Chains A and B, each alone.
Chain A
Amino acid sequence: MAFLEKMSLWVNRVLLGIAGFFLAGMILLTCANIFMRLVWLPLRGTFELMGYFGAVATAFALGYTQIRKGHIAVDIVVQRFSAGTRRALRGVNALLCMAFFALAAWRIGAYAMNLHETGEVTETLRIVYYPFTWAVSVGCAALSLVFLVELLKSFLEKGDSEP
């Protein structure tokens, strides 16, 4: 259990670090495009690359955001239940969310595989974009892993361990 929790934290921290680089890339790419547009010609493919960079940056941050309870949730009703009920409800919540994001990861991964097999390329730069699609799938899978840990914690830990 502790190993799984540590692994989930490590994976999501690494993904967050990579996301930071993609955020920096978005700023550099946009500024470079504006500069090049002023002095010569705009950089081709900026729009499509920005979309893909944004996808990686945010999808890779999904799991870490959940670990830090950064996704908006309403807990005013849940807080009024007993510790045991809260733990059970957290377990149900984690199970549903884990299944939903596992499904999303699987579906997006299948789409990425299809893009890979058909050799689909972007409209302007004519480069393959399935790696970005895979990245979003990995982001969803990492979030699903976080919920798996939450699910196990709700079963295995005694008392109310909500941070």
Chain B
Amino acid sequence: MSLTLVGVLGILLLLLAMFFLGMPVGFAMGLVGFCGFWYVVSFKAAVSMVGNDVWATFSKYGLTVVPLFIFLGYLAFNSGIAERLYNAAYRWFGHWRGGLAVATIGADELFAAICGSNTATAATMGTVALPQMKKYGYHTMLSSGTVVTGGTLGTVMPPSVVLIIIGLQTKQSIIKLFLGGILPAILLGLLFVLTIVILCRVHPHYGPAGPRSTWTERFKALAGTLEAVAIFLLVIGGLYLGWFTPTEAGAVGVFFTLCFTVPFGRLGWKGLVDSVRDTLKISAMVFFLVTGAIIFGRFLAVTRLPFMVAEFAAGLPVSPYVILAMVLMIYLVGGCFVDSLGFLVLTIPIFFPLGMALGFDPVWYAIILTMITTMGAITPPVGVNIYVVKALAPEIELSTIFKSVSFFLLACVVCIVILIAFPGIVLIIPGMAG
């Protein structure tokens, strides 16, 4: 049997284990990678490889950034920072038609700047914003989609766990990826706002205007955003200026979040324990996802499949953008069935070398993949954010949430097209940092 065929069979076996046994993605990648390596090389080499890779990955300094940024996100989640952000955005935009939805996106954008998880962002904003929008008579066709899709900003806006994983898997600078994510996240947020404005113009009853706040109330509420802005400036500014490594930036962010919240009673013992437990759970999941991808990547490497795919695609007589469109389509469809982070980790060993062979800039390509991955979090049937919002508001029909999300999916597609047409939007800030 040729090595290429072994590689293809390995991928089929992996899909079989994932879909028909319900095996966790990271474990399936590790197990199939081990079996494949055993078949191609030897049992002894495969056992050694698994032992070495698990230990080497878990003890890697580069990966310690993951628990720290996840912890930062959970502290922000459990300490009420999101409520103050939402209140400020509500005071400023609440009197517009659809203003509460705009306020949700604004607060999402700011919250995402300190929280690296899309589900945490969606859950936080869902808790805060959904009752408010219900109170002011917002239609669920607008409110549910706003909360579900607003959460995706957490994936693109740094610090983002997805960007960290891509950086570690592709051996790129996490700092550059973080900086590259800032403008696309702002652009995506603006496109979401535009979607809300258009929806409210076509269906005025979707988002009736709320009460107007006084200027005193607005500026008073603005003070509530200071801690989030300070944490973001410290973390991302410190990275940009070269004061900290990404791991140090995460630790400093955690330290200052604790300083801003614990002494003022905003984060109690329960919130702290919950944050630690959830951080460890997510970190363990991410660590083994990365480990599994490394083991599976080693198996694929001995079959030379990723290189052959890259060489084949690069040699096709079509524009690299046609191949990019096909890759994005695979991510979009794959993201509908496999959790977006899992699918990304699974496919990076194949599609990243392909992107490089096509001559794309690695930072730009990583951001484009992140953007398309975020869409996986809001597309049925596996879109995790949809179920987070459904759990928060069981009275909203799933079909309503799906319909509502579809308006915003268009904004995501437009954003990706703009980033492909104008790569400078991604590359300008990393370029300035040198």
**Residues of A bordering B, CB below 8 Å:** 16, 19-20, 23-24, 26-27, 30-31, 33-34, 47-48, 50-55, 57-62, 64-66, 68, 70-78, 89-90, 92-93, 96-97, 100, 103-104, 107-108, 110-111, 132-133, 136, 140
Contact = CB atoms under 8 A, between A and B. Distances in A.
A55 B55 contact: yes
Contacts of A52: 59
- Chain A CB within 10 Å, residue with most, of B54, B255, B279: B54
B19 interface: yes
B254 interface: yes
Contacts of B67: 23, 26, 54, 57-58
A20 B280 contact: yes
Given A53-B64, A72-B342, 4 more contacts: A23-B71, A74-B25, A100-B31, A107-B51
**3 closest residue pairs by CB, A with B:** A107-B51, A30-B251, A71-B24
A78 B22 contact: yes
Contact of A92 (B21, B54, B284): B21
B21 A78 contact: yes
Nearest to A89: B21
A97 B51 contact: no
Given A51-B60, A89-B20, A100-B27, A62 B276 contact: no
A34 B19 contact: no
Interface residues of B, number: 56
A16 B279 CA distance: 11
B64 A50 contact: yes
Contact of B281 (A47, A59, A61, A74): A61
A55 B59 contact: yes
A75 B54 contact: no
Contacts of B247: 30, 50
A103 to B, nearest CB: 6
A23 B251 contact: no
B382 interface: yes
A148 to B, nearest CB: 15
Interface of B: 17-27, 30-31, 34, 47-48, 50-52, 54-55, 58-61, 63-64, 67-68, 71, 244, 247-248, 251-252, 254-255, 276-277, 279-285, 287-289, 337-339, 341-342, 381-382
A23 B74 CA distance: 14
B55 A57 contact: no
A100 B277 CA distance: 25
Contacts of A20: 276-277, 280
A108 B291 CA distance: 14
Contacts of B21: 78, 89, 92-93, 96
B249 to A, nearest CB: 10
B30 A100 contact: yes
- Chain A CB within 10 Å, residue with most, of B58, B71, B255: B58
B364 to A, nearest CB: 27
Given A20-B277, A26-B251, A58 B22 contact: no
A56 B381 CA distance: 35
Contact of A140 (B31, B52, B54, B71): B54
Nearest to B250: A30
Given A27-B255, A71-B24, A51 B55 contact: no
30 contacts: A16-B277, A16-B280, A23-B71, A26-B67, A34-B252, A51-B61, A54-B60, A54-B61, A58-B67, A58-B280, A64-B280, A64-B284, A65-B281, A65-B284, A71-B27, A72-B285, A72-B341, A73-B24, A73-B25, A76-B19, A76-B381, A77-B19, A89-B20, A89-B22, A93-B23, A103-B50, A104-B51, A107-B47, A111-B52, A133-B59
